[in-house]
Copies of this chain bind each other. A is one copy, B any other.
Amino acid sequence: MYSIVVESIYLLVIVTLISVLQNAFFALKVEKEGNCQNIPTSTFERVCCANRNCMDAYPTFLAVMWCAGLCLNQAPAAFAGIIYLAVRQKYFVGYMGQTSQSTPGYMFGKRILFFLFLMCIVGIFNYLLVRYCSSEYKEYVETITGAASALLLIP
């Protein structure tokens, strides 16, 4: 039981651990900015805002990634997760660096979340097909998903 479970989730766990590290990095930034009182307040507010937007989207991201990994295949889901974390890092840094006139929007990584969302739907649809029609497209679908996840690299 043990190794079967770990085998089917270990990539997801690794991505989750990386996201936790990133959360800790964000929290450290917030704490550091909050401590130095001589800097202008707007920097602290910007860091706070960026951290909040990232944290607001975090449970959604985790839920979609784990569902996609459990329902279909963990490798493309973990790959999309890694790319999402890279986008989030870029978003956070971009939020801190710039003036308040041109803050980026509230949402980010929409394309990746949409891809993971699609993976969940395909996985459930495939399960229902297997159950009611006894037809098996899973391997076919997994190959397509693996190939499609490479498209996420296109900026």
Contacts and interface: CB of A to CB of B under 8 A. Distances in A.
Interface string A51-64: 11001111110111
Interface residues of A, number: 52
A70 interface: yes
Given A8-B1, A31-B106, A117 B17 contact: yes
B16 A123 contact: no
Given A31-B105, A31-B106, A63 B6 contact: no
Query: Which of A51, A67, A130 lies at the interface centre, i.e. has the most chain B CB atoms within 10 A of its CB?
Result: A67
Contacts of A64: 16-17, 20
Interface of A: 1-10, 13-14, 16-17, 19-20, 23-24, 27-28, 30-31, 34-35, 51-52, 55-60, 62-64, 67, 70-71, 105-107, 113, 117, 120-121, 123-124, 127-128, 130-131, 138
